[in-house]
Chain A
Amino acid sequence: MATVTLKDLRKSFGPDEVIHGIDMEIADGEFIVIVGPSGCGKSTLLRMVAGLETVTGGEVLIGGERANDKEPMDRDIAMVFQNYALYPHMTVAQNMGYGLKIAGLSKPEIATKVEAAAELLQLDGLLDRRPKQLSGGQRQRVAMGRAIVREPSVFLFDEPLSNLDAKLRVQMRLEIKELQSKLGVTALYVTHDQVEAMTMADRMIVMNAGVAEQIGTPMEVYETPQSLFAAQFIGSPAMNVLDARIEGGRVMLGDVAVAETGKRAGPVKLGLRPEHVAPDAEGPLAMEVLLAEPLGANTLLHGRLAGTEIAFTASLQGVHLASHGGEAMRFGVDPVDCHLFDPETGHRL
């Protein structure tokens, strides 16, 4: 168990800088999710912590010690790879025991630890199989087992669930989270799935193009996104972003006042989460529904704001039987659910 500190961490491949300076303090035992779109540098960031990529600038501290120049094996970490990276020629038991064998443990010690891990991960009957003879979910568990037997201070996960089907993903997500809190190990978890990020993270880093757009708890990021990018990336369906103006202390969408605000007058981006608008015959937002998607617990309405080409999505509780294409609806918004962003910088106002 250890803290991890990133100080202005930078990475360049040749002349291209892909990580532009990330600062973060990770507490002991914290579960941190690094989330962002493909190519934003999540894996690169994780691999710098692992020691698989050299650090171009800044510092990585693990347990308070500078780790920049340490080899991966000297960092007291374990990593679970997206493709699991099991040793194909070894049995499950050998896969899990490899690190212990290198560490010089005796055979009985290794066997005890491997069996304990196997029991924890429900791999008991599979110890003599080769990775080839396992299902995707079982391989995933073996990869986890290999990480936990060595009792590292930090777990690193690089999209460990992305090769599993949706149902298994939900199950493993819970198991990983449970396991991590049971072991109390600091974890860094990379994913591009915002649901994983929301459900697993103690805190998350929302990354975009090599920059940490926001670092915070899932609810902080959801409720007070610090940038347009974080606002749109976290939350499903994505937040509606509309061009608006502030005039005389009111947020104006065209000629309609949506909410009161104390912010300075001028053009703004108005963010409204689909689930934060409510049907209201007197409401300021008029929407022309083009398509209704009933999802069971809620219904998504896709359409545009009346009289414009601006796309708008609303999410209503329950089955909304009345909704159909071409219907006109009005919605009201609570001012606290209006997110205002600077149109130039994308920063929250």
Chain B
Amino acid sequence: MEKRVTFRGWMLPLLLIAPQVFISAVFFFYPAGQAVWQSLFIPDPFGLSTQFVGMGNFEYLFGDRHYRASFYTTALFSILVTLASMIPALFLAVLADRLIKGSGVYRTLLIWPYAVAPAVAGVLWLFMFNTRVGVVSWYLGQLGYDWNHVLNGSEAMGLVVVASAWGRISYNFLFFFAALQAVPRSVIEAAAIDGARFWRRFFTIVLPLLSPTTFFLLVVNVVYSFFETFGVIHTITSGGPQQATTILVYKVYSDGFVGQDLGSSSAQSVVLLLVVGLLTVLQFKFIEKRVHY
């Protein structure tokens, strides 16, 4: 017999799911609907009236050099953040995995950065690299390097990438560490007897066995770099200099709330919505078909 609770009326069930429905409606469906709706209109400069333009905003958007540049910036940014957060995490995990004693201590210490909110992390890094009072930029100055991320686009990009990736290293480290611990010791030993030295073993045995974890983290980190890095960028560069760090999410904000171009901003969020959708589908497909050995 199937066990399920049956409600007599429909009032109680409705009441029970109401909070979730309410939250989704207020924070997702309503704004998403608004965005889709508004993306079809252009408001006049004073915001007094709006005019229906159909796909006009989208056509304009994809014709816009800056918007296309922002796509490129986003791609570059997310690739860099993903690499900068995953490679060191994997490296640290491999080192921690080799330890026999004290790996617990390292694990705990390495998790801490994850507890720092992105905006706070942004401020932290901003202080260190501040062009006038920053510790790191002062040292760089001593070494003869003139650090100025306020003017130099590449330096600005580097800084937001580092600040965004920093906290993520902890997160990725945890996953990699757990995955490494799950690799059977005897398989590694068998490879050693077969003649493979450390790095050979790493690339031909360990890394392939980590691939489910690696792929999962890849998706999660790309999504993170797309959407959750707003705080870091806002605190450090505000998208500058010259839009060098304006990723799509930041452009939605700056065009909509700073530039007050609600039509274009809405169209951008619709595009972004599609991108999120695509990434989510990818992720789910992956989780269903996870590579199991």
| A contacts, CB < 8 Å to B | 50-52, 71-73, 77-79, 81-83, 85-89, 98-99, 102-103, 130, 132, 146, 150
Shortest Cβ distance from B196 into A: residue: A102
CB–CB B187/A85 < 8 A: yes
B residues with CB within 8 A of A: 184, 186-187, 189-197, 200, 204-205, 208-209, 211, 293
Question: Roughly how many angstroms separate A83 CA and B185 CA in the complex, as a whole number?
Answer: 11
CB B209 to nearest CB in A, in angstroms, measures: 6
**A152 nearest CB neighbor, chain B only:** B193
Most A-side CB within 10 Å, residue of B194, B197, B205, B209: B194
A150 to B209, CA, bound (A): 24
Chain B residues whose CB sits within 8 angstroms of the CB of A51 once the complex forms: 193
B193 and A73 contact, CB distance less than 8 A:
yes
Inter-chain contacts of A89 with B (CB < 8 A)? 208-209, 211, 293
Query: B194 touching A150 by the CB < 8 A rule?
Result: yes
A130, B189: Cα distance in complex, Å: 19
User: Which A residue sits closest to B185, measured CB to CB?
Assistant: A85
| Known A98-B194, A102-B195, A103-B195: A72·B189 in contact at CB below 8 Å | yes
Q: Is the interface of A mostly helix, strand, loop or mixed?
A: loop
- The answer on a CB contact under 8 Å between B192 and A72 is yes
| Contacting residue for A87 out of B187, B195, B200, B211, CB 8 A | B187
Please report the C-alpha to C-alpha distance between residue A112 and residue B186 in the assembled complex, in whole angstroms.
Answer: 27
Pairwise interchain contact A87-B191, C-beta atoms closer than 8 A: yes
CB closest residue in chain A, given B192? A72
Please determine whether B184 and A85 come into contact, CB atoms closer than 8 angstroms.
yes
Cβ-defined contact, A73 with B192, below 8 A: yes
Complex: chain A residue closest to B208, CB-CB: A89
Cross-interface CB contact of B293 among A82, A99, A102, A132, cutoff 8 Å: A132
CB atoms of B200 and A102 under 8 A apart: yes
Contact B194 A73 (CB under 8 A): yes
| Nearest B-chain residue to A98, judged by Cβ | B194
User: B190 and A81: CB pair below 8 A?
Assistant: yes
Contacts A89-B293, A132-B293 given; indicate if A81 touches B186 (C-beta within 8 A).
Answer: yes
Q: Which residues of A contact B197 (CB under 8 A)?
A: 71, 73
Contact B193 A87 (CB under 8 A): no
CB of B189 within 8 A of CB of A81, answer: yes
Assembly CA distance A52 to B208 (angstroms): 23
CA–CA, A83 and B186, complex, Å: 8
